[in-house]
Amino acid sequence: AQRVTQPEKLLSVFKGAPVELKCNYSYSGSPELFWYVQYSRQRLQLLLRHISRESIKGFTADLNKGETSFHLKKPFAQEEDSAMYYCALRTLSNTDKLIFGTGTRLQVFP
Amino acid sequence: EPEVTQTPSHQVTQMGQEVILRCVPISNHLYFYWYRQILGQKVEFLVSFYNNEISEKSEIFDDQFSVERPDGSNFTLKIRSTKLEDSAMYFCASSGFSEQYFGPGTRLTVT
């Protein structure tokens, strides 16, 4: 079964602390993984995708096929990082639908 | 930068009524999607649409739901007879050949 698991509903850190948002997936094929972010009262927007292997706003994520994980990391959290973060898996079918995790709310305190 | 737009932002309707949620995808995109998010739950795929037909639909997308691209710009989701459990945020998304771009959502409240 295709599934994305984000075990933490809420992650609270102080500004400057490291952040790791966990994501595990279950998919029989070769997945494509994404992180989407939703700031307060804004739309879902793409933060990262695993195939681009880039760093956006200081965030990185590495696909670990052995552990079926795609954790999102940032070494020094900023207050403006406070948002909902959703991990998503794109099935490589003709529809390319996204399967989302339940999301993790990141709160960064000053 | 082009964006996906959705109207209305909030729709309140009575159980049993029909609602139409509207989306204007990004103009050169070819793939269109509807997702929904019940309060406190995950974003769930409803349906994908390509080349003027449904390419995939989820178990949620039963006979009460339909989608249409009535002209070159709009993409609509119709719920024929709303139920209380249809209350949710409904997100439209569109894509070219890579990432999906999401609209701001329509909050549907069924009373």
User: What SS3 string covers A43-97?
Assistant: CCEEEEECCCCCCECCEEECCECCCCECCEEECCCCHHHCEEEEEEEECCCCCCC
The arithmetic mean of pLDDT across residues B37-66, rounded, is 93
- B110 pLDDT tier (thresholds 50, 70, 90): very high
Please report the pLDDT score of residue A94 as a whole number: 64
Burial of residue A68 (number of CB atoms within 10 Å: 0-12, 13-18, 19+):
middle
Asked if B100 has any chain A CB less than 8 Å from its own CB, the reply is yes
Q: What is the pLDDT along chain A (110 residues), one digit of tens a residue?
A: 789 999 999 999 999 999 999 999 998 878 889 999 999 888 999 999 887 778 889 999 989 989 999 999 999 999 999 999 999 998 776 678 899 999 999 999 99
Asked whether the beta carbons of residue A95 and residue B48 sit closer than 8 angstroms, the reply is yes
- Give me the phi and psi of A70, to 5 degrees please: -150, 65
Longest dimension (CA), chain A: 45
Asked if B108 contacts B90 with a C-beta cutoff of 8 angstroms, the reply is yes
Per-residue model confidence (pLDDT) at position B1: 80
CA distance A18 to B29: 37
Distance from CA of A70 to the nearest CA of B (A): 17
Dihedral of the alpha carbons of B32, B37, B41, B47, in degrees to the nearest 10: -40
Residues of B in Cβ contact (< 8 Å) with A36: 102
Place of tokens 């954790």: A71
* Mean pLDDT (whole number) for B19-37: 95
Contact A86 B43 (CB under 8 A): yes
Q: Across the interface, which of A46, A95, A100 has its CB nearest the CB of B43?
A: A100
**Nearest CA to CA, how far is B47 from chain A (Å)?**
8
Choose the closest CB to B45 out of A86, A99, A101: A99
- CA A52 to centroid of chain Cα atoms: 14
Largest distance between two CA atoms of chain B: 39
Q: State how far residue A88 is from chain B, nearest Cα, in angstroms.
A: 10
Q: Are B77 and B69 in contact (CB under 8 A)?
A: no
| Confidence band, pLDDT 50/70/90 cuts, at residue B71 | confident
Cα–Cα distance between A47 and A40 in angstroms, integer?
Answer: 15
Token output for B41: 């739950």
Q: Does any CB of chain A come closer than 8 Å to the CB of residue B45? A: yes
Q: Which residues of chain A have a CB within 8 Å of the CB of B44?
A: 100
